Structure 1
């Protein structure tokens, strides 16, 4: 006896359900935003406890914060690379022009151009690598520096308010 595919009992594991629902919500809601109340209703329909939902919201918020920080770090690295490349272009243009004016051909300036270019190239390579131990160490260093700057700024603002009061 042949059973049609529509009548077969289907079963899914938790990961499959998450992926299917994520795709379905993304297709249905393209630019639609959901309120917190709607989120709570959906969680209730899926028999998710309010405590579990609250923990999941906090974890999601933390993940979003981490993603934003990494995006800020990547923007910082790219702007630093642009500045370094600008310095390279300006300085080496000067050296090449100076070399051409004095010798009429490229002699010594080509070495500066190549060696400095090697450094800029390696810096570019590192800038666009967003995985690995080196990236993580650089991110952690940048993050600590930003935290320190924020702490100092907050402290100075509090002192400033206190002095004005």
Structure 2
């Protein structure tokens, strides 16, 4: 858009407005440490003719998205931890197999086949562990999430039970 065009000729889509305002808010402070109260957000929304109900719903959606992102990070760390354990097991077992083969005096013969066969499993494991898109990832995440929620529920019930029977 040309710099000399008048303000009345400019028009922007909703997405462009969001991007412009996001950049303007980011530049508002140099250190990025400025925080806005909920009341300030409501006032800004009112100036933009956005209802307080829409802001409340957007805040709820934002909280859910933030929680989902945190859970996915925790799930990815969990998967990576499991992978590191399996990789360590692979290294130990194959090191032992190679040692046995070398102690047999014939050099590395049959242990190479074991190493390659197990290596194929590790390559597939790498693919599954670091693949964070797709239906298989989503299914694994949902399964982990349900299992995690069940553990939290059980821990909450057990903690309440212990508190109820604790002497004062």
1:96 is displaced (CA, Å) by: 0.8
Write the mapping of 1:1-165 to structure 2, written as runs, cut at 5 A.
5-7=4-6, 9-29=9-29, 30-36=31-37, 37-165=39-167
1:94 is displaced (CA, Å) by: 1.3
The worse-fitting range, judged by mean Cα deviation, of 11-20 and 31-40 is 31-40
SS at match of 2:45: helix
- Number of aligned residue pairs: give it: 163
Deviations 1:28-54 (A, max 9, x none): 345223222332232222222211111
The worse-fitting range, judged by mean Cα deviation, of 131-140 and 104-113 is 104-113
Distance (whole Å) between structure 2 residues aligned to residue 80 and residue 18 of structure 1? 40
1:4 is displaced (CA, Å) by: 7.1
1:108 is displaced (CA, Å) by: 1.6
1:112 is displaced (CA, Å) by: 1.5
SS at match of 1:105: coil
- Quick one: structure 1 residues 45 and 98, their matched pair in 2 at CA, closer, same or farther if it must change by over 3 Å? same
Deviations 1:3-49 (A, max 9, x none): 97432611011111011111222233452232223322322222222
SS at match of 1:164: coil
Structure 2 unmatched ranges of 5 or more: none
Q: RMSD across aligned C-alpha pairs, in angstroms?
A: 1.8
Distance (whole Å) between structure 2 residues aligned to residue 138 and residue 159 of structure 1? 32
